Chain A
Amino acid sequence: MLRKCFIAVAIVAGTAQPLLAASGVNPEADRKAFVKYFTEKFPKLKLKDFVNGPYSMDEDLYKQWVAKEEFPPYEFTLEKGKKMLATPFKNGKTYADCFENKGVGIRQNYPKFDPKRGKVITLEVAVNECREANGEKPYNYKKGEMAAITAYMAYTSRGKPMSIKIPDDPRALAAYKKGEEFFYTRRGQFNFACSSCHVQMAGMHLRTEVLAPALGLMNALPVYRSKWGAVGTTSRRLTSCNSQVRATPLKPNDELYRDVEYFLSYMGNGLPISGPGARP
């Protein structure tokens, strides 16, 4: 009798703290440590302003950003995305048939874990799966149409808190953990990890650029970069970062890229979506 009771308690506790004891993975504890680190490092910055990256940290950059946001250069991309979302496929169906709330105001829920397939589904993957399910060719994962439609979807989610869920499923936790490992692993001839620039050196000037903090970084994606003159996807952001440290970038939409997006998006939970963000 007593023993049964113990088991029941253990199960209840298990759902509250996903696999904590079994795997040693505790995303919520990681997130709290992450937030604490950045809020202590930047005591003057409001939590919600982390999603605007370097623009929140340098007055000269901030002024340039405000000047551009008066009529943002990604305005045409947003219009294109909006049109794409409303345009039916050849079979008459639209993206609205694939997404909850017709694809509007849902960006904050991605990447999400699909328990049926045991896979992390990023917004970009969801877009391409929707296309393929309706007999259309998938988009390139880096730019163009993919960037446009996800930019518009992010725009309709602006201000909503990032709401990534990591369910009590060993496959979800494994993906999260692999993402975390990717984030902290040094790579490339420069021997830099994502975290080297965006944790330890966050807010510092590298040459004259200000390094964005990792906290809230994914909330701004997809992102318009002045140096691209265009909006790019998460895959493009990651391939570009890898190249800069002289690491051979992985293929766009590589499993590790999806995992790191899952990890880093979870770190940004509760912070508002600011995508499509703008960055130098």
Chain B
Amino acid sequence: MYEFSDAPNMARRTILKGAVAGGLAGLTGLGLSSFPFPAYAAADAKEWPADAFKQKSEADVLKALYGKTAEASDKISLDAPEIAENGAVVPIAVSSTLPNVTGIAILVLNNPNVLAAAYKIPAGTEALASNRLKMAKTSKVVAVMESNGKLYSASKQVKVTVGGCGG
């Protein structure tokens, strides 16, 4: 089981600092120093929004990621289970009919760090993302989309329980 809640805040911060440093050091490992202008758009650790991944509330995550607040929208579909079969692997899919979506963020409000995943959606890519997330406990899951420069959100409560004699 994932013992998110056991970790003290201090340790969490230290880990994140380490993560950022590791990410930057990784650039040399990637060989980017010898190819300062890579011919293709490789995954670039510099782009990772470290600050947003540290935040503990929905508002702070959105501020760090997009610098604004979201309004609820029924044009976002958030497909998540009522009861997660296991908090280690919760399939969550989001899609939307909103126009010109440029970014998607998925937040798990009761996780120690609220932001689970953020996606950059270039023009020509649909407003859709499906992934599998860890959930420490029962929580509201929030899907946020940036459309025409504005933020919209939809949410759903997902129940998480510990395994028993099941299966």
Q: Direct A–B touching in the complex (beta carbon < 8 Å)?
A: yes
Please tell me if the beta carbons of B91 and A54 are within 8 angstroms of each other in the complex: no
Establish whether residues A209 and B167, one from each chain, have CB atoms under 8 Å apart when the complex forms: yes
Residue of B nearest to A190 (CB): B165
- A186-216: CB near B (< 8 Å → 1, else 0) gives 0000001000010000000011111110000
Top 10 A-B residue pairs of the complex, sorted by shortest distance between their CB atoms: A209-B166, A226-B86, A280-B85, A67-B91, A279-B167, A208-B161, A244-B165, A227-B163, A207-B164, A226-B89
Smallest Cβ-Cβ distance to A224: which chain B residue: B89
Residues of A within 8 A of B83 (CB): 60-61, 208
> Chain A 154-192 against B: per-residue CB contact (8 Å), 1 yes, 0 no?
000000000000000000000000000000000000001
Q: How far is the CA of A212 from the CA of B161 in the complex (A)?
A: 17
Q: Is B88 an interface residue (CB 8 A)?
A: yes
> Given the complex of chains A and B, what is the CA–CA distance between A209 and B160 in angstroms?
11
Per the bound structure, the CA–CA distance linking A226 and B161 in Å amounts to: 13
Indicate with 1 or 0, residue by residue over B79-115, a CB within 8 angstroms of chain A CB atoms. Answer: 0011111101111010000000000000000000000
B82 and A210 form a contact (CB under 8 A): no
Binary interface encoding of chain B residues 138-167 relative to chain A, with 1 for a CB under 8 A from any of its CBs, else 0: 000000000000000000000101111111
**A15 interface residue (CB < 8 Å to B):** no
Interchain CB contact (< 8 A) of A211 among B88, B91, B159, B165: B165
Q: How far is the CB of B6 from chain A (nearest CB, A)?
A: 18
Pick from B85, B88, B89, B165: contact of A197, CB below 8 A: B165
B contact residues around A245 at 8 Å (CB): 165
Which residue in chain B gives the minimum CB-CB distance to A73?
B89
Contact B84–A64 (Cβ < 8 Å): yes
Of all chain A residues, the one with the shortest Cβ separation from B162 is: A207
List, sorted by A's number, 7 A–B pairs whose CB atoms are closer than 8 Å.
Answer: A207-B166, A210-B166, A211-B165, A211-B167, A229-B88, A237-B167, A280-B86
Residue of A73, A207, A245 with highest tally of chain B CB at under 10 A = A207
Nearest B residue (CB) for A63: B81
A: number of interface residues (CB 8 Å): 30
Cβ–Cβ < 8 Å partners of A225 in chain B: 167
Q: Are B167 and A68 in contact (CB under 8 A)?
A: no
A residues touching B (Cβ–Cβ < 8 Å)? 53-54, 60-61, 63-65, 67-68, 73, 192, 197, 206-212, 223, 225-227, 229, 237, 241, 244-245, 279-280
Q: Is the CB of A227 within 8 A of B86?
A: yes
Contact of A226 with B85 in the complex, beta carbons under 8 Å: yes
| Chain B residues near A212 (CB-CB < 8 A) | 166-167
Nearest CB of A to B145, in Å: 20
- The answer on a CB contact under 8 Å between A244 and B164 is yes
Q: Complex: how many Å from CA A223 to CA B88?
A: 16
- State the CA gap A280–B1 with chains docked (Å): 12
Q: Per a CB cutoff under 8 Å, which of A53, A192, A209, A237 touches B163?
A: A209
Given contacts A60-B83, A68-B132, contact A206 B88 (CB under 8 A): no
Looking at the complex, which one of B91, B130, B167 makes contact with A280 (CB distance below 8 Å)?
Answer: B167
Given A209-B167, A227-B1, 16 new contacts (CB under 8 A)? A54-B166, A61-B85, A63-B81, A64-B84, A67-B91, A67-B130, A68-B89, A68-B91, A207-B164, A208-B83, A208-B159, A209-B164, A209-B166, A227-B86, A245-B165, A280-B163
Most buried by B among A60, A64, A237: A64
Given contacts A54-B167, A280-B167, contact A64 B161 (CB under 8 A): no
Which of chain A's residues have a CB closer than 8 A to the CB of B130? Answer: 67
Give the nearest-CB partner of A210 in chain B.
B166
Closest to B166 in A: A209
Cα distance A210–B165 in the bound complex, in angstroms: 9
B88 touches A227 (CB 8 A): yes
B133 CB → nearest A CB, Å:
12
